[in-house]
């Protein structure tokens, strides 16, 4: 609307072009998605989105098997079109055996910064019957934000069951999906 040029509420392609004109620069906005699954094994705790949760099972993996952090890491690589977590950290490489997954996420976030992108938002969904994620969601948001060096307000963590259907419903493992939005201005 004339006279409201500084109102940068962006809702569509035309608004986007207007924002670029007002800001006097090209904006490069990327989205990426990630998906991962890890099976349960005998254990007493598991790592999810950087938080250790006491549970009657652990998660099996070459690394610490933090399925949520792996999905988010892949979402960032996807937005950058930079392959996937297994290409950067091959499961065949003994160096990553038992590795903490913050190594992978901080690598992806660093790569985004090196390429001139800010991670403006990311959203992780964990799919499991147990453990319940709600009580840990705030701690997970804070930890993911700390690792990516962004504000917790830009990070969402949520969960759903699969209504007892499929492998997650039978509590054989946990699935995670994530999206990441990156902007270069």
Ligand X SMILES: C[C@@]1(CO)OP(=O)(O)OP(=O)(O)OC[C@H]1O
- Is 128 a binding residue for ligand X by CB under 6 A? The answer is no
CA 10 to chain centre: 24
Taking CA atoms, 101 is separated from 21, 36, 39, 67, 79, in Å, by 40, 13, 16, 9, 19
**Which CB sits closer to ligand L45E5XJ5, 113 or 164?**
164
- Is 160 a binding residue for ligand L45E5XJ5 by CB under 6 A? The answer is yes
Residue 51 CB, nearest approach to ligand L45E5XJ5 (Å): 13
Near ligand L45E5XJ5 by CB under 6 A: residue from 80, 85, 128, 144: 128
Size of the site for ligand X (CB under 6 A): 12
Report helix, strand or coil for 127. strand
Residue 36 CA to residue 80 CA, distance in Å, equals 18
Taking CB within 5 to 8 Å according to partner kind, which of ligand L45E5XJ5, ligand X, none is near residue 155?
none
Four-point Cα dihedral 49, 32, 90, 37, nearest 10: 50
Q: Which of residues 161-180 bind ligand L45E5XJ5 (CB under 6 A)?
A: 161
What Rg do the C-alpha atoms of the chain give, in angstroms?
Answer: 18
- Is 83 a binding residue for ligand X by CB under 6 A? The answer is no
Where along the sequence are the contacts to ligand L45E5XJ5 (CB under 6 A)?
128, 132-134, 159-161
């Amino acid at each position: 609307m004339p006279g409201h040029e500084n109102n940068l509420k962006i809702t569509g392609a035309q608004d986007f072009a207007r924002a670029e004109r007002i800001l006097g620069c090209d904006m490069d906005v990327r989205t990426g998605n990630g998906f991962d699954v890890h099976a349960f094994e005998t254990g007493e705790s598991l790592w999810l989105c950087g938080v250790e949760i006491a549970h009657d099972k652990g998660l099996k993996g070459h690394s610490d098997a933090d399925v949520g952090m792996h999905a988010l890491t892949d979402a960032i690589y996807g937005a950058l079109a930079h392959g996937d977590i297994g290409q950067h950290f091959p499961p065949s490489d003994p160096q990553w055996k038992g590795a903490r997954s913050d190594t992978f996420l901080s690598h992806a976030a660093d790569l985004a910064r090196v390429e001139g992108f800010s991670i403006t938002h990311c959203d992780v969904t964990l799919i499991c019957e147990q453990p319940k994620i709600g009580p840990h969601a705030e701690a997970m948001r804070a930890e993911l934000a700390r690792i990516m060096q962004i504000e917790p307000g830009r990070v969402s963590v949520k969960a759903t069951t699969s209504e007892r259907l499929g492998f997650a419903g039978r509590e054989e493992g946990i699935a995670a999906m994530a999206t990441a939005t990156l902007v270069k201005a």
